[in-house]
Amino acid sequence: MSDPRVEASVDTFNDGSGFFVRTEIEARAVAINGPFPDLQTAQRLQADQLAYVKQASQALKEQLQKATATSPAASTSR
């Protein structure tokens, strides 16, 4: 498996009507497992991985939403 990679950037820009803060977070992980002696064994791992990835993706999505949400301190200036 490759080392999971997370890249993040935060910048400020002006479109002429006001200023904006853009937060970008990208995550990537790649894993290749095998070889397996037969297709059924590989398909069992595939099913297990799909279930686990679904759970992990939901947890990651929730954390990313928290990380990119406007903080209460920032919104008080509006």
pLDDT value, residue 73: 60
Cα–Cα distance measured from residue 59 to residue 63, given in angstroms and rounded to the nearest whole number:
6
Q: What is the pLDDT along the chain (78 residues), one digit of tens a residue?
A: 678 899 999 999 999 999 999 999 999 999 999 999 999 999 999 999 999 999 999 999 999 999 888 766 665 554
pLDDT value, residue 15: 93
pLDDT value, residue 1: 62
Taking CA atoms, 51 is separated from 22, 47, 64, in Å, by 32, 6, 20
Q: pTM above the 0.85 mark? A: no
Taking CA atoms, 59 is separated from 15, 19, 24, 53, 65, in Å, by 33, 31, 18, 10, 10
Cα–Cα distance measured from residue 10 to residue 7, given in angstroms and rounded to the nearest whole number:
11
pLDDT value, residue 78: 47
Cα–Cα distance measured from residue 51 to residue 43, given in angstroms and rounded to the nearest whole number:
12
Indicate the domain borders of the chain.
5-70
